[in-house]
Structure 1
Amino acid sequence: MLKRFMLAVVASAQIETLHILVPTANEPLYRYVRDLAEAHPKVKTVGLSFTAESLRGNVFALWRMIRATAATLRTLRLDKLLIAQGTIVSGLAGLFAARDARTRSVSYLPLVDDAPINPGSAGKIKWLVKRVLYRMPDEYVTLNDHLRDRLNGLAPNARAMVLENYVDDRFSRSMLTKQAARAALGLPDDGTTIIAHIGRLNFQQKRQDFLMQTIERHADAFARTLVLIIGEGPDATRLQDMIDASPTLSACVRIVGPQEDVLPWIVASDTLVLPSAYEGVPLVMIESVLAERPIVVSRVSGLDSYLPDALLFPADDHGAFVERIFAARTFPLAALTGEFRRRFSREVFDAQAQSVVLHACGTRNGGAQAVPQHSDVLAKSK
């Protein structure tokens, strides 16, 4: 989404110069930004010598990079600095540098923390620190009204704006059929129900382990089913070990690994699943509906504002999860698909992206406002 955001901002005639600060260590992103600068004279690339990950746990390195980045910001004399953050604790160097350089900061934040339930002393301290961090940006850009409302509670003095995701038109215009997709991918087309989970292999967020537990508890329901796990991540080995240790899982679960193009896998599936513990706005949810494939999602993070009850289940209810998975195959998707095509179009995204960047800049003390002509993106690395 960060790349799409960049393209939308570049297309704005009202932006005179776009400085993009990007870690040189993130080679794919740095190369993308450099190519963007070659194609558009208004784009200027500024290489950063650090990533969020390289500074984690190293207070002295973080302090040095804050000072260095602040010096860069003073030289550039920006109207606004947009900081792409996965969570409020990533991209800290950008937040503190903006404060040091007195540059107006905007956090592009897809995930917002919940207050911990029954935390210990360490948990309470960590939450207090996060509460302070949430009050640092002058503005926020987030993904939906639910997240905006939570940010308004955590940072009441910061303006929070919504920029919904944009999904490539090909997901709603593909002529690929289920039969052709299965043939191309070497999947059975003999009446076997195919269920797919697409996402990072991370038990804490995506809960592939919950999906495995569900299959084992309801083995009969999955007797003529193939469950595809598509993606990579830190829990790949743990997931494979779970499957290898269970005859039930070994019989019906296949780890496919990361795929450059997930569209054929979506089309080949009868139902997709996303039993996450928390989410921003998952792209696979939008992509599935655009491709006219049902996706069953845990009722978390305001996702009930996107999907009907028939495609949602209580996050810890294995039985309801199974029921929704196998009932979803007959759910009528036409109306929901039409709504998503309008809501997540490129035209809507570009207009929203330009609006949030060009929003009038004011001083911290509420002084005179002016429409900015410069904008910057500080890109976090993965």
Structure 2
Amino acid sequence: MHQPPPPPRPRVLHVTQPVDGGVARVVRDLARAQLTAGLRVAAACPGGELGAGLRELGVDVRPWRAGRSPGPGLPGEIRRLARLIEEVRPELVHAHSAKAGLAARLAVRGRVPTVFQPHAWSFEAVGGPTAALALRWERWGARWADRVVCVSQAERTTGLRAGVHASYAVIPNGIDLDRHSAPAGPSRAALLPDLDPAAPLVVCVGRLCRQKGQDLLLRAWDHVVCRLPGARLALVGDGPDRDALRRRARALGPAVRFAGAVTDTVPWYRAADLVVLPSRWEGMALAPLEALACGRPVVLSDVDGARESLPPALTPHCLVPPEDPEALARAITALLSDAPLRASLGGRGRGHVQSTHDVRHTADRVADLYRELLGGRPPVSTERRESLHP
């Protein structure tokens, strides 16, 4: 007796803007794991390295022309995304970060199962009237997300306290452990050939912007070099605050190096004695997880997700109050002065990340969420797809 062919596996469309930094790494690693699991994966993004990297993995990448922040071009961005969704015909839309979450929810408006993952809340990134508008939107837009995925319990709590009432799921970030345990790339001497091999080296990996707090780290560095004159700081990344940070760092002379954007951050983690991320806000940053996977201790601002990314044994040494350069300097100085403690913390951190933050575990939990949403709704018919255009 002829058996009908099994239905195709559901297709997920990842909508992403921005296309750099931690959000891009999350999407890339998640897409890789989903393809390995047999899921049909498509992506809508403005291109860049993320688009090229996803194509190499085998993702169906559709260029979506959209700016990083909301502006007068938003209506056109929404219309273009609605047409793109009509072409791809996904069974589920997964929107990443505030801008993509805004455009995708307005383009879909509940007609296709929708997951929104803020990767830190939009209203934390701005101030004044803009923050009020962002909060108002998040409260309103929550109705068009079947699930809001937070990467930490703290991020979920922030949303609830702000009045964003939604159906939440908490799925901590994961990283590609294979990549972070692979043979080392360029050595410290190759990355910084003029650096004294005995000099204590602190590395900060992140977009050069207010969120990541490199300005706070430079203010702290004045205090660090007073105690440890040979200490050196490497800022790895690029972004809108590059020129302002360079001006601020001039007074510190050779104590601060700007490495620029790099395609592979692993060699920088391995070159470091200590990795620092003094963020003003986060959901759950990837850089600390990546550094710990490489066996390097970290110092973090105690913002959303930071405490949850560390085992309890590390928190007394590795967490500092946000926007407190003096506390940051004390924590950095203490760890740079204690090599055995750094080695112990790095080893404990690596074990914690290996057991708790494997991206394959993250992908499994996301897949369970997709199955729950797709199993609880009827198949997406042509009739339901009509009028996708706002």
> How high is the TM-score relative to the length of structure 2?
0.77
1:340 corresponds in structure 2 to 353
**Aligned mate of 1:192, from 199, 202, 221:** 199
Larger CA deviation: 162-171 vs 138-147: 162-171
SS of the aligned residue for 2:327 comes to helix
Q: What residue ranges of structure 1 are gaps of 5+ in the alignment? A: 38-42, 363-367, 373-382
CA contact (8 A) 1:360 1:371 kept: no
1:9 corresponds in structure 2 to 34
CA contact (8 A) 1:167 1:283 kept: no
**Aligned mate of 2:148, from 126, 140, 145:** 140
RMSD, aligned CA = 3.1
CA contact (8 A) 1:55 1:61 kept: no
Cα distance in 2 between the residues matched to 1:33 and 1:122: 33
Question: Which residue identity lines up with residue 148 of structure 2 in the other structure?
Answer: Y
CA contact (8 A) 1:166 1:345 kept: yes
Higher RCO (CA 8 Å, separation ≥ 6 residues): 1
1:288 corresponds in structure 2 to 291
CA contact (8 A) 1:272 1:294 kept: yes
Post-superposition shift, 1:295? 1.1
SS of the aligned residue for 2:234 comes to strand
Question: Which residue identity lines up with residue 91 of structure 2 in the other structure?
Answer: D
SS of the aligned residue for 2:353 comes to helix
Cα distance in 2 between the residues matched to 1:193 and 1:296: 15
Larger CA deviation: 267-276 vs 119-128: 119-128
SS of the aligned residue for 1:316 comes to coil
Cα distance in 2 between the residues matched to 1:302 and 1:282: 7
Post-superposition shift, 1:105? 0.9
Post-superposition shift, 1:240? 1.4
CA contact (8 A) 1:52 1:91 kept: no
1:377 corresponds in structure 2 to none
Q: Does 1:86 align with 2:62?
A: no
Q: What residue ranges of structure 2 are gaps of 5+ in the alignment? A: 1-25, 381-390
1:65-214 equivalences in 2 (<5 Å): 65=80, 67-69=82-84, 71-72=86-87, 76=89, 78-83=90-95, 85-87=96-98, 89-99=99-109, 102-113=111-122, 123-152=131-160, 154-172=163-181, 174=183, 181-185=187-191, 186-202=193-209, 204-214=210-220
CA contact (8 A) 1:69 1:93 kept: no
Deviations along 1:317-348, whole A, 9 cap, x unmatched? Answer: 22221121122242422233212111122432
Cα distance in 2 between the residues matched to 1:227 and 1:277: 19
CA contact (8 A) 2:237 2:261 kept: yes
CA contact (8 A) 2:235 2:260 kept: yes
Higher-helix-fraction structure: 2
**Aligned mate of 1:235, from 235, 238, 241:** 241
SS of the aligned residue for 1:232 comes to coil
SS of the aligned residue for 1:81 comes to strand
How many aligned residue pairs are there?
343
Cα distance in 1 between the residues matched to 2:264 and 2:53: 19
Deviations along 1:295-325, whole A, 9 cap, x unmatched? Answer: 1111111311223121111113222211211
